Amino acid sequence: MAPSSRILLALAGVTAAALALVAALVFGGLDRLGLRSAEANVDFLLSQLRGSVEANLGLGLALPDVRVAQALVEQAKAADARVLAVEVFSPAGVSLFNTDRGAVGEAIPEAWRRALAYRSVGDRWRVEELGAIVVGETMRNDFDEPVGYVAVTISDAARAEHADGLAAALAARAAWLAPLALLLALGVAWRALDRSTRDVRGLAEALSAPGAPEAESPAGRVRAAADRAVADHERAAAEVLAADEA
- 211-233 pLDDT per residue, tens: 544 555 555 666 677 777 778 77
Which residue in 169, 216, 202, 197 sits closest to 30, CA to CA? 169
pLDDT in tens, 138-164: 888 888 888 899 998 888 765 565 556
- 8 A C-beta contact, residue 151 and residue 127: no
Ranges of each domain in the chain = 3-162, 198-245
pLDDT digits (tens, 9 = 90+) for 162-200: 556 656 666 666 666 667 766 776 677 667 666 666 665
Interatomic CA distance for residues 136 and 153, integer angstroms: 9
User: Greater confidence, 116 or 18?
Assistant: 116
CATH architecture of the region 3-162: 2-Layer Sandwich (3.30)
Cα–Cα distance between 71 and 54 in angstroms, integer? 15
d(CA 101, CA 113): 21
Q: Whole-structure pTM over 0.85, yes or no?
A: no
Query: What is the spatial order of strands in the sheet that 95-98 belongs to?
Result: 95-98, 83-89, 146-155, 132-140, 124-129
Residue 98 burial (CB < 10 Å; 0-12/13-18/19+)?
buried
Please provide residue 211's backbone torsions phi and psi, each rounded to the nearest 5 degrees. Answer: 105, -30
Grouping H, G, I as helix, E, B as strand and the rest as coil, residue 216 is coil
